[in-house]
Structure 1
Amino acid sequence: MTQAPLAAKATRRRHDREIVALAVPAFGALVAEPLFVMVDSAIIGHLGTSQLAGLAIAAALLTTAVSVFVFLAYATTAAVARRVGAGDFRAAIQQGLDGIWLALLLGVAVIAVTLPTAPWLVGLFGASDTAAPYAVTYLRISSLGIPAMLVVLAATGVLRGLQDTRTPLYVAVGGFGVNAALNAVFVYGFGLGIAGSAWGTVIAQCGMAAVYLVVVVRGARRHGASLRPDPAGIRAGAQAGVPLLVRTLSIRAVLLIATAVAARLGDADIAAHQIILSLWSLTAFALDAIAIAGQAIIGRYLGAGDVRGAREACRRMVQWGVVSGVVFGVVLVLARPLFVPLFTGDQVVRDALVPALLVVAVSQPVSGVVFVLDGVLMGAGDGRYLAGAMVVTLAVFAPVAWGVPSWGGGLTALWWAMGLMMAVRLVTLWVRARSGRWLVTGATR
């Protein structure tokens, strides 16, 4: 075998090791987070239907409030990774601290809005008179933990930028365990009901934030970074996050439109849609883990001025995305007789679910490439392009999705529209990746 194939094989192996080392722990941390709500649901579900309904409404509001600020993790990962690639660890930590201070400020602002408006926000969901008080109680108490949740996002971005995804995994698993224990004690032991569950979650989130702060502060002292808030750095972090905020809001709009259209199709269709969306989200977590690895790896290569390394890493991660998508698609098809009965025993729901699920399975390889390229461009700090591309995608998807009922289409047609949405994202991201305009080197973009 000649030297060139041997070198290429060694390069692929190096990238594979990097991807696995970052993506596997990232996947564990991503999966651990939704388990907080699952534990709350399991514990509160035994208190009564009204309490569980109240939790569902409050959890939806909290999830939206936190997910809107996910740019705290993504933008911080890219910025810190660039500094690491450039060999400036002090500046990398300093950049991360700016993100954490921004998270605290945003968290306080969210509390200031949520506490007085909680009844109104709950009312927007049309909660019943019996469920609304529980929703308001849970929302008001849990909102006190939002600053901690946002700090966790920002600090997770810091560690990912430092090429460390294991610590976030350990913290997420530990937080999940503490949350489960406190919920059980407060709800059943102390008889605090839904309020006890909310307090347990707040304490667990604050504990996670405290652990992250200890880790980041130690890194700051080790590398001589200042712990004081830097207004210029915080402002720069906010400005860098605006494009990613636009991207996130556009994605949330796509999901909300899809759910609204499914609701118009009928009860069986919306029930089937919720099941499919849960499965789609689960595969998205796995694919997003590769994207997170992409953010950290690409940011580091570009910070080090290694354009060739960034291109090779991107190419290898795209291959990972395709293979992962094919595997997930095959699993969804072959395993559907096993998991579909776990979700519903209603034959009407199953009849609506299965053909739409096959559409999701077919589109998984496309999703794999989309998630990877999304992560690559985030790692490159190409937020403006990502925002514009997602707005274009939303503009294409919205009229098609809203037209499904009027055209006589059902749930399967709606998920073909979702497939179209992913195809548009693939085209916009692929064009950008091929152009090479994202390959901007240096410690800052």
Structure 2
Amino acid sequence: MVCTYQSIRCIRNAFKKDELGLEIAQIALPAALALMADPIASLIDTAFIGRIGPVELAAVGVSIAVFNQVSRVAIFPLVGVTTSFVAEEDATTKMADEELEIGDIKFPNEIKELLSDSDETGHSLSFSANISTNSVKTEIERKHIPSVSTALVIGGIIGLLQTILLVFGARPILNIMGVKPDSLMMTPACQYLTLRSLGAPATVLSMAMQGVFRGFKDTKTPLYATVAGDATNIILDPIFMFVFKLGVSGAAIAHVISQYLIAVILLWRLLRRVEVLPPSISDLQFHRFLKNGFLLLARVIAVTFCITMSASIAARMGSVTMAAFQICLQVWLTISLLSDGLAVAGQAILASAFARRDYQKAASTASRVLQWGVILGLFLCLFLGGGLQFMSKLFTNDADVLHLIHIAIPFVALSQPINALAFCFDGINFGASDFAYSAYSLVMVSIVSIICIMFLSSSYGFIGLWMALTIYMSLRMFAGFLRIGTGSGPWTFLQNFP
């Protein structure tokens, strides 16, 4: 296969300190840290709540699973298309701005230097140059990119709808998830889910803005905002939970405050860089967003259904099993997000490369991202294999919960290389705007995975759940490999590569 040959041939260049490697690292590292920040905050919530008791831990586990999966349905399509579209429009704008336009006259880039030579050309030219230079700087600082305004409008609407759904449907949704009305988990689970849902508009908007910054290949700004918000969450958690004695409600309130802080910081930074208000309604790109967004919506629903079904089955097995499953799932997803940072870098760089028709860079970027994904996955496998047994005691002291966690360690650890490649392939295909294939392939993967989840969980219980999740991620990896590996779709140009 084309992709396999090129990746093996260039594996010695995985850590080559060239321009491409530096660009990937500068995008991937902050992106990974930002992606991990919120799950880490949830892990800290889990650690604090675990000190209250296993019932509250299991209740919050179900609530977090519901909120995160609903959020994924709302956020993932929006962020996915926003990153690609902003990267494409930004690359196209830069190509168009290679010549400086003043009035009706276009000057090559070299003329910019002449405009600043006021001493040799006199006051009149100096005055004109200053105006021209300032106007250029203003244009650079505040770009007009229609995808930005569209993403914020759609994000605001989706966030409000998510809040309404979860506030008024908390109990029925929790019941579907396996929490019975007479269960001890119902009250704390409903309290946590209802309060945390109030932060949904901020969560969706902040993620939409993160998609914009990723499109600009700027992942540092979202990182700073996320760290500031989650640090606030960590500080407020024990204050609301134990000082004010609000319990699980305190944890939810702290999280909501942190989400609004993140949204405010990102909006402040975005207003300095982009014209957020569109010139007219017709300037918005609703059709383009909705067309590709619905494809990714089908994809994320399929993905969400697998995870949600697993959590629901674990909840039906009892509070101890659900508590163990929640801890393992949070660690599994949090650590895997390091690989998702590579996917973000691959998507942003590839979207820009395809917009410029720079297929050589597209091929090199895909190859390098996959190489790093393999290496990172192996490292995470070793890290979790040796450390999760000790880290699990940070979340609970319950002996039964710890026993189940130790059983799941081999699956959580050994699946990391598979997860890394699956996430990297997602980012690569998104960067090529191959949304249709990503959607259809994941629907097929999820159908097979759901069958595995039902059969293996009924036959092997808790272990069966993790066997099924490992199969699910393996199928995701294969689906991603099939497209680029065979050089089909947007990757047909690979067939002409030596």
Question: Are 2:26 and 1:21 equivalent residues in the alignment?
Answer: yes
* 8 Å contact from structure 1 (residues 91, 225) kept in 2: no
Deviations 1:166-205 (A, max 9, x none): 0111000100122334455555666666555444433332
Mapping of 1:302-381 within 5 angstroms? 302-335=354-387, 338-339=390-391, 356-381=408-433
Match of 2:450 among 398, 401, 405: 398
Match of 1:426 among 466, 474, 477: 477
- Percent sequence identity is 28
Instruction: Give the deviation of 1:422 after TM superposition.
Output: 2.6
Distance 1:281 1:154, change over 3 A: same
Alpha-carbon distance in 2 for matches of 1:284, 1:364: 7
After superposition, residues 105-120 of structure 1 pair within 5 angstroms as: 105-120=157-172
Deviation at 1:270, TM superposition (A): 5.9
Letter in 2 for 1:247: R
- TM-score, normalised with respect to structure 1: 0.83
Give the structure 2 partner of residue 35 of structure 1.
Answer: 40
* Cα distance between partner residues in 2 of 1:299 and 1:149: 25
Unaligned 5+ residue runs, structure 2? 1-9, 95-139, 494-498
Task: Tell me if structure 2 keeps the 8 A contact 1:79–1:92.
Answer: no
Aligned to 1:93: 145
Q: 1:347 to 1:395 in 2, by over 3 A?
A: same
What is the aligned length? 434
Structure 2 residue 321 is the aligned partner of structure 1 residue 251? no
* CA pair 10-186 structure 1, distance change in 2 beyond 3 A: closer
Contact 2:159 2:201 survives alignment (8 Å): yes
Contact 2:61 2:322 (C-alpha < 8 Å) held by counterparts: no
Amino acid of the structure 2 residue aligned with 1:172: T
Q: Does 1:81 align with 2:135?
A: no
Cα displacement (A) at 1:46: 6.5
Code of the residue aligned with 1:35 in structure 2: it is I
Deviation at 1:91?
Answer: 7.3
Residues 102 and 238 in structure 1, CA contact (< 8 A), matched pair in contact too: no
- Equivalent residues of 1:83, 1:91 under 8 A apart: no
Q: Does 1:233 align with 2:285?
A: yes
Q: Please, what is the CA RMSD of the aligned residues?
A: 3.7
Answer yes or no: is the 8 Å Cα contact 2:324–2:402 preserved in 1.
yes
Partners of 2:380 and 2:50 in 1: CA distance: 31
Distance 1:42 1:429, change over 3 A: closer
Distance 1:36 1:198 in 2: 11
Classify the secondary structure of the residue corresponding to 2:278: coil
Q: Following the alignment from structure 1 to structure 2, what is the Cα–Cα distance between the partners of residues 188 and 326?
A: 40
Residues 58 and 338 of structure 1: CA distance in aligned 2, closer, same or farther (over 3 Å): closer
Residue 289 (structure 1) aligned with residue 341 (structure 2) = yes
- TM-score, reference length from structure 2: 0.75
Supply the distance in 2 between the matched residues of 1:267 and 1:192 (Cα, whole angstroms): 22
- 8 Å contact kept, 2:381–2:417: yes
- CA spacing shift, 1:272–1:49, aligned 2, 3 Å: closer
Structure 1 alignment gaps of length 5 or more: none
Q: Alignment partner for residue 353 of structure 2, among 286, 301, 304?
A: 301
Give me the whole-angstrom Cα distance separating, in 1, the residues matched to 2:324 and 2:235. Answer: 33
Give the SS at the match of 1:86.
Answer: helix
After TM superposition, give the deviation of residue 129 of structure 1 in Å: 6.7
Confirm or deny: 8 A CA contact 1:12 1:316 kept in the other structure: no
Alignment CA distance shift 1:85-1:436 (3 Å): farther
Residue 218 of structure 2: SS of its match in structure 1? coil
Larger mean CA deviation between 180-189 and 325-334 belongs to 180-189
Letter paired with 2:489: R
Structure 1 pair 51/392, CA: closer, same or farther in 2 (3 Å)? closer
Q: Which residue of structure 2 aligns with residue 215 of structure 1? A: 269
Tell me what 1:68 maps to. Answer: 73
Counterpart CA distance in 2 for 1:355 and 1:15 is 41
1:110-159, CA deviations, whole angstroms, 9 ceiling, x for partnerless residues? 23333333343344432547654444444333322211110001000000
SS for the counterpart of 1:381 is coil
Partner of 1:204: 258
SS at the partner of 2:93? Answer: coil
Q: Which moved more, 1:428-437 or 1:198-207?
A: 198-207
The alpha-carbon distance between structure 1 residues 366 and 37, as it changes in their structure 2 partners (threshold 3 A), is closer
Q: What is the deviation of 1:400?
A: 2.7
